[in-house]
Chains A and B, each alone.
Chain A
Amino acid sequence: MPTESLALDDVSFEIADGQMFGIIGHTGSGKSTLLQHLNGLLKPESGHIIIGDVDITEPDIAMTEIRKRIGLVFQYPEYQLFEETVAKDVAFGPRNLGLAEEEIQERVREAIELVGLDYETFKERSPFELSGGQKRRVAIAGVIAMRPEALILDEPTAGLDPKAHKDVLKMVEEVHRRTGNITILVSHNMADIARLCDRVLVIDSGRVVTVGTPKEVFSRRRELAEVGLDLPPVTQLTEALRQRGFQIDETILSVEEAAEQIAACLKARNTHNTQNVRRTEDK
């Protein structure tokens, strides 16, 4: 077909155990395609994907084995809910793994609590009558209940209101901390990525632009601008202040750090000004 194109090309990177790994890129940059390769939904035409000591691109690998290791939460995961009750829906994944009933129930309870919902109040409710944020938590719980070694979240906060956004991110952080597993987070929100992630990968037109710590990545302002990505708002502010001659460090990523440095600057300026005033008075 004349409509075919290359979705991913020359993509190489590593993720260490226990890392929170961020992936950022413009719409249509190949993020979602990349994620689907990571749990075997798509197979690369060439190249390898190695998880632990298993190469999942081997032709004879069992798909359930991959799915057990890698949990993928799609964009708008609430659209995959289908069962009559929340508990049954969350149990869908573990049940597919062929676990014993007791183990399933235990995992369901744990997963629902882990995403910050009360098991007793929610287990018997229909997933279709919940609020947007709650639906999303239930859908994420459905993947967490499979106890994957790595959890991938594709824009877990897309389309949520500011409070639900904050809550879901907090939950992701909490799950990451409690399980100590790899978490891969895709987001359009640069502030979230800068705050949460240990390492960040920038992707554009199916190619890796850069990989590094948030500080390294967000210090490459020009490259990011070229692929249509912004700096986190706080970094934009501090960079603008730096250009106005403020003595602030390069690439500040947290609001707290920025506040501290700006306060220090202002204090220095004030003492400087007062000294000037004194000097004029002396004359």
Chain B
Amino acid sequence: MIRDITLGQYFPGNSWVHRLDPRIKIIATLLFLIELFIVDNFIGFGIAAVCLGVVIAVSGVPVGYILRGLRPILMILIFTFALNIFMVNGRVLWQWKFLHITAEGLELAVFMAIRLILLLMGSSMLTLCTRPLALTDGIERLLSPFKKIGLPAHDIAMMMTIALRFIPTLLEEADKIMKAQQARGADFESGNIIRRAKSLIPILVPLFVSAFRIAQDLALAMEARCYRGGENRTRMNGMKFAKRDYAAIVMMVAFLAVIIAESWLL
């Protein structure tokens, strides 16, 4: 039911990929995404796909699980594919009234579809293999150089951490309230759109009340432990590069070099 919502799902594990420093993983993902836009031929995608495949194999996340994450963008995928295939002019392969498929269109459609799929799979690997808290820690560290120009890196990271932390709590709360109202005979599925929207009131009102209560409790608990923002704050588990992180950097650079060379030479 409501818990099936997969938002930045983390797939528990202890693989080499899971243990990498979150900063490395964030940068690697960004680089991977940029590289996908540098690539301008299918061989480049082949190289990227192989590399992604290796990362997935090492991480131990089932491929089926990652593919399931693609379901929400299936519509977008089909839409762009159709648009490309029918709209591009060139050598006509097939024609029916005003619809025509060109060789160029077909090529572009497949090209864009592969790019989209790789983009999504690549970025979902980041959230699948990194604990949400490690992720926000990593973002905070990566953003901290920008503190000098007034970017509140710590506050942004703290807000993200709290938001991520409370997604499951609020989902659970919503689930509980939904069940309680169902037990009182509430029906969320039948009726027209207005009736259905109305049937959400018995969930939304208690959910808002709960959210405010939780927020207030959290603020109090943080104050009680003398939380005063990021100034001079140290952390219990400092981030340190291990050997595997340096290895990952080398691989990243190599991958970048191959991609650039490949798109230059071909």
Residues of A whose CB lies within 8 Å of any CB of B are 1-3, 36, 39, 41, 63-64, 67-68, 71-74, 77, 79-82, 92-93, 96-97, 128, 142-143, 146
Contacts and interface: CB of A to CB of B under 8 A. Distances in A.
A80 B173 CA distance: 10
B209 A79 contact: yes
A142 B186 CA distance: 12
B167 to A, nearest CB: 16
Interface residues of B, number: 21
B164 to A, nearest CB: 17
A159 B162 CA distance: 26
Contact of A74 (B176, B209, B210): B176
A128 B197 CA distance: 23
B180 interface: yes
B12 A39 contact: no
B93 interface: no
A143 B183 contact: yes
B205 interface: yes
B119 to A, nearest CB: 25
B53 interface: no
A67 B182 contact: yes
A79 B185 contact: no
A79 B12 contact: no
Interface of B: 11-13, 173, 176-177, 179-187, 201-202, 205-206, 209-210
Nearest to B65: A1
13 contacts: A41-B183, A67-B182, A68-B185, A71-B183, A79-B206, A80-B181, A81-B206, A82-B202, A92-B184, A92-B202, A96-B186, A142-B184, A146-B184
B185 A93 contact: yes
Q: What 3 A-B pairs have minimum CB-CB distances, sorted nearest first? A: A96-B185, A82-B205, A93-B184
A63 B186 CA distance: 10
Contacts of B185: 64, 67-68, 93, 96-97, 146
B177 A79 contact: yes
Contact of A3 (B12, B181, B183): B12
A96 B182 CA distance: 10
B179 A36 contact: yes
A80 B12 contact: no
A117 to B, nearest CB: 18
Most chain B CB inside 10 Å of its own CB: which residue of A1, A77, A96, A142: A96
Contacts of A97: 185
A74 B187 contact: no
A16 to B, nearest CB: 23
Given A3-B12, A80-B180, A146-B185, 15 more contacts: A41-B179, A41-B183, A64-B185, A67-B182, A67-B184, A71-B183, A74-B176, A74-B179, A77-B180, A79-B176, A79-B177, A80-B181, A80-B206, A92-B184, A128-B209
Contacts of A39: 183
Nearest to B179: A41
A178 B177 CA distance: 29
A36 B175 CA distance: 12
A67 B183 contact: yes
A36 B180 CA distance: 10
Nearest to B60: A2
